[in-house]
């Protein structure tokens, strides 16, 4: 309802896996987080999101957890992937949204943690878009990783070429 009042359309995906990594792009604005949460609430689904553990202090910690926040200790290289894989092992129903750009600023290189988490946990990747040109949000594809990281990442990135970011100059896929 709120999204509709804001002029946005929430397209409901047909697939609804119990576990998945949700690859959300483009991500060039703080508004993307708010829109993404509103989208998932509007289609009646829950998705967690990763945040630095340092943000989980009182009174913010309980609020972030209630919204689906997952505290991550980023002090050890590679530990984020392992921490999220453990979440999948402990929860029969678990979907986590990850922005592969890793920043709201321009970045020609995507982070591959979302892919490595999905492969390690044996879960599919939902490709989700926040498209400002059409004011549409959707999960438009359920992708099963093949294990060929380079080819799979290239394919996933190509699926976002036509997407319009809030700040297009910060979205590298618009250049491909």
pLDDT digits (tens, 9 = 90+) for 112-122: 999 999 999 99
Structural tokens at position 8: 């946005």
- Check: CB of residue 166 under 8 Å from CB of residue 32: yes
pLDDT digits (tens, 9 = 90+) for 44-66: 898 999 888 898 999 999 999 99
The pTM of the full predicted model, rounded to 2 decimals, is: 0.86
**Beta strands, E only, 53-135:** 69-72, 94-98, 125-131
- Element spanning 137, H or E: strand 136-143
């Amino acid at each position: 309802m709120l999204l509709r009042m804001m002029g946005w359309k929430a397209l409901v995906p047909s697939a609804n896996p119990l576990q998945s990594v949700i690859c959300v792009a483009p991500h060039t604005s703080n508004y993307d987080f708010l829109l993404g949460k509103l989208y998932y609430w509007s289609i009646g689904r829950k998705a967690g999101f990763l945040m630095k553990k340092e943000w989980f202090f009182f009174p913010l910690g309980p609020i972030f957890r209630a919204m689906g926040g997952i505290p991550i200790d980023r002090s050890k290289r590679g530990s984020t992937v392992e921490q999220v894989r453990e979440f999948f092992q402990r929860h029969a129903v678990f979907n986590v949204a990850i922005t592969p750009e890793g920043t709201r600023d321009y970045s020609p290189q995507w982070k591959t943690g979302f892919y490595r988490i999905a492969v390690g946990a044996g879960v599919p990747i939902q490709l989700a878009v926040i498209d400002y040109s059409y004011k549409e949000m959707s999960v438009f594809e359920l992708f099963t990783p093949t294990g060929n990281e380079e080819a799979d990442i290239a394919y996933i990135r190509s699926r976002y070429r036509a997407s319009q970011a809030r700040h297009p100059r910060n979205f590298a896929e618009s250049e491909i």
